[in-house]
Chain A
Amino acid sequence: MNRRTVIKNLALVIGGAVLLPSCLRKDGTSYVQLKHISLDGDQQNLIADIAEIIIPKTDVPGAKDLNLPAFVLKMLDDCYNKKDQLAFLAGLDKFNTLVKTKYNSTFSDLSVKDKEAVLIGIENSNKPKAGSKAPARRPKPQKNMAADPLNAFYWSIKQQTIFGYTTSQFFMTKEIFYDMVPGRYNVHFPVSKLKLKLA
């Protein structure tokens, strides 16, 4: 697949997210052709599995259903500089080693519960210390973290998965109320109306 086809497919995927199943293949062949970062099928699967734990399938589609792994890979490929890509790759190795050491298994073969435990372990290792000054605004997890490649790896996937999810057609048309042409400005709009499930 050349780049143009990838972009076209991605547009299709994003446009018709719910209709298209994930094209992740069981045989490990890569499903996104990358130009600037080298990730084999197993590595792409790992990223997809992590994304699926962050945004799992519930009563509504999850990361894989929405093809968010393809979005994460596209962002990694096109938008990250060499240095960040190398940190990501180093972090990927470190992540695999961490899982192997603790569980003697690959991440993908772990139970959902163990997969969650691995990710929560990384989350907790970055919690601000007790008594530290509260940030003025929403804390950006990427800021002020130890320059550990494991963090670069995990937070890149998490950030792009959430970014992809909250800007997906599914989320913006089925989960929250997003109007392309609002037509007016109403300053008394209750939050309850924003969430379609409650509205």
Chain B
Amino acid sequence: MSANTYDAIVIGSGISGGWAAKELTEKGLKTIMLERGRNIEHIKDYVNANKAPWEFAHRGGRTQQMIKDYPVLKRDYPLNETNLDYWVNEKESPYVEVKRFDWFRGYHVGGRSLMWGRQSYRWADVNFEDNAKDGHGVDWPIRYKDLEPWYGYVEKFAGISGNRDGLSILPDGEFMPAMEMNCVEKDVAARFKEHYKEARAFIIGRTANITVAHNNRTNCQYRNKCWLGCPFGAYFSTQSATLPAATATGNLTVRPWSIVTKILYDKDTKKAKGVEVLDAETNQTYEYFAKVIFLNASTLNSAWVLMNSATDIWPDGLGSSSGELGHNLMDHHLGVGAGGIVEGFQDKYYFGRRANGIYIPRFRNLNGEKRDYVRGFGYQGGAGREGWGRDIAEMNIGGAFKDALTEPGLWGMGIGGFGETLPYHENRAYLDKTKKDKWGLPVLAIDAEIKDNEKKMRIDMANDAKEMMEAAGVKNVQTYNSEGVLGRGIHEMGTARMGRDPKTSVLNGWNQVWDAQNVFVTDGAAMASTACQNPSLTYMALTARAADHAVSELKKGNI
């Protein structure tokens, strides 16, 4: 066995790559995990995690220089002073927007597992059935029951806190104790329940923040600084959870600065034999070989790797024989919701900063209801008290005003929708060979947009939000409905979808590329639809399931 030969190669080190590395190494496979960016060492490299608010020169804000340097990131909240180093350098790694697509990337060990929102929800039966029922996209090759044990498996290891709410649309999991609603959320929840009974639910968010110590990780300290990296390891990330487990096996090698440029395909065996790597620091090219390859480079970059692979056989890349590689790009559409103020509770506050909110699961187009669009949406939200600036008549400057600043403002409550986006063949990413990145590699062009179904859904998303807030006693409710831009949800999915037929899908029911069955794609690329739940928990479950299958197939000699 040469120095560059392993049992398994994992491309990417984010949420799904970390899971692939953990599962494969724990099953005894010598594995190399290739990460295109730099290393970030757990705790040591979380350079801003222990800074106080006043220690940031612009108190966390954005400078004009940052706005100039990050023309994409500036479009939404991620551009900020506190974790700027976790976001991709856009000058080095450009892409082409045929239509606006907000692509927020993290190129480093851990990927976006360091900055993710941590909301973790199972999918339900209906989510796997919708494609077949309404005819959009292709039928999922699996159902909830196929994934159910794997959801439980990954929840127990990742550590998901939540309440067992008993909802069929949002199956309960193996939860740690839930976080608590604050006093206003409890009040709103009670009125919500009184009004909607069992028809709609208002629950505490289920989040990958541990509420009890777990696997040498300290329980959540309620700092709400997760995206700086947690020195307590209290939220699930590659660094806090899967990487230590994989490392402990002695079977893992991590290689940062390794841009996988292609998967090496052997047309005689009809399998992949390895990958070609461009060292991002030295520009040297290397080859690594393995029996099984897990592609977890994130939805768009996994498609990019496939498009660059086996082009001598398939000009559009490995997995393109179906004509679906790069197509059916999806995201959750958001930026629509409602909020207002809650009267009273002026003597009440909360201690601790909870990195979690409330959740309202999907309630539309279920139980026989038929709106003028298909599928549905859920909401995330929460109640809080505003800081300075309580409107103090005739007292907006001076000593009395200064004293009044210590008084928290009004209670507010708001919710924002996450809507399902249908798989449209014409929403796609493809290689633009006229434009190159820092390393001379062709970049992706992205051409995707929301369509009528999503636009109609957004009207309900705004109106339902207002109606629910008012029914729950929130005052002065105002709605917002910004432009529905894809990418903004940071839930890219679907460029190499799973399916039942190699003619219409890139992957089979075990996430294997139809045309190279020892290549598994288990990140968002694999998704055949988006549901409206946050997707990462499903990637984890798909990855653990696929890794189990891969090792079993290896043992049988099938791959």
Residues of A within 8 A of B (CB): 7, 10-11, 14-15, 17, 36, 53-56, 58, 62, 74-75, 78-81, 116, 119-120, 123, 134-139, 158, 162-169, 171-172, 175-176, 179-195, 197
Contact = CB atoms under 8 A, between A and B. Distances in A.
- Chain B interface mostly helix, strand, loop or mixed? loop
Contacts of A169: 52, 54
Contacts of A74: 57-58
Contact of A184 (B61, B222, B390): B222
A15 B54 contact: yes
B552 interface: no
B405 interface: yes
A197 B406 contact: yes
Nearest to A180: B52
Interface residues of B, number: 58
B396 A81 contact: no
Contact of A167 (B53, B222, B391): B53
A138 B410 contact: yes
A184 B351 contact: yes
B347 A190 contact: yes
A53 B398 contact: yes
Contacts of B179: 185
B397 A182 contact: no
**Most chain B CB neighbours (cut-off 10 Å) among A36, A134, A166:** A166
Contact of B349 (A162, A171, A191, A197): A191
A163 B388 CA distance: 9
Interface stretch (B62-70, B130-138, B163-171, B245-253): B62-70
Given A56-B399, A136-B341, A189 B348 contact: yes
B5 interface: no
Given A136-B339, A182-B352, A187-B183, A162 B405 contact: yes
Contacts of B409: 138
Given A58-B399, A165-B405, A182-B353, A137 B339 contact: yes
Interface in B385-443: 386-391, 396-399, 401-403, 405-410, 412
Nearest to A175: B406
Contacts of B222: 182-185
Contacts of A189: 348-351
B372 interface: no
B321 interface: no
Contacts of A78: 57-58, 63-65
Given A138-B390, A185-B351, A56 B398 contact: yes
B340 interface: yes
A183 B352 contact: yes
B398 A138 contact: no
A158 B405 CA distance: 13
Given A184-B351, A191-B348, A195-B407, A79 B58 contact: yes
B182 interface: yes
B349 A190 contact: yes
A166 B478 CA distance: 28
Nearest to B478: A136
B59 interface: yes
B406 A176 contact: yes
Given A186-B351, A190-B348, A137 B223 contact: no
Contacts of B65: 78
A79 B64 contact: yes
Interface in B332-368: 339-341, 346-354
B397 A54 contact: yes
B501 to A, nearest CB: 49
Nearest to B60: A167
Contacts, number: 154
Given A75-B61, A167-B54, A134 B352 contact: no
**Most chain A CB neighbours (cut-off 10 Å) among B57, B222, B389:** B57
A15 to B, nearest CB: 7
Given A11-B57, A137-B339, A162-B405, A191 B351 contact: no
B397 A123 contact: yes
Contacts of B53: 167, 172
Contacts of B48: none
8 contacts: A58-B403, A79-B62, A136-B340, A136-B341, A158-B397, A162-B389, A166-B405, A193-B349
Contacts of B354: 185
A36 B408 contact: no
Contact of B180 (A7, A53, A180, A185): A185
B390 A7 contact: no
List the 5 closest pairs (A to B, CB-CB), nearest first: A182-B352, A185-B352, A186-B351, A189-B351, A136-B476
B221 interface: yes
Contacts of A184: 222, 351-352
Nearest to B354: A185
A23 B346 CA distance: 40
Given A56-B399, A136-B478, A185-B352, 7 more contacts: A11-B57, A15-B54, A17-B54, A119-B397, A123-B396, A176-B406, A189-B351
A138 B386 contact: yes
Nearest to B338: A136
B330 interface: no
Contact of A195 (B352, B402, B406): B406
B477 interface: yes
A153 B351 CA distance: 37
Contacts of A54: 397-398, 401
Interface in B162-216: 179-183, 186
A36 B63 CA distance: 11
B185 to A, nearest CB: 8
B54 A172 contact: yes
Contact of A135 (B181, B347, B353, B476): B476
**Most chain A CB neighbours (cut-off 10 Å) among B180, B348, B396:** B396
B74 to A, nearest CB: 12
Given A11-B57, A182-B352, A187-B181, A134 B476 contact: yes
A120 B397 CA distance: 8
Contacts of B339: 136-137
A195 to B, nearest CB: 5
A60 to B, nearest CB: 8
A175 B387 CA distance: 13
Contacts of A134: 476
B55 interface: yes
B210 to A, nearest CB: 13
Contact of A137 (B52, B386, B405, B408): B386
A137 B391 CA distance: 10
B54 to A, nearest CB: 5
A179 B353 CA distance: 10
B55 A11 contact: yes
Given A54-B397, A79-B61, A185-B179, A194 B349 contact: yes
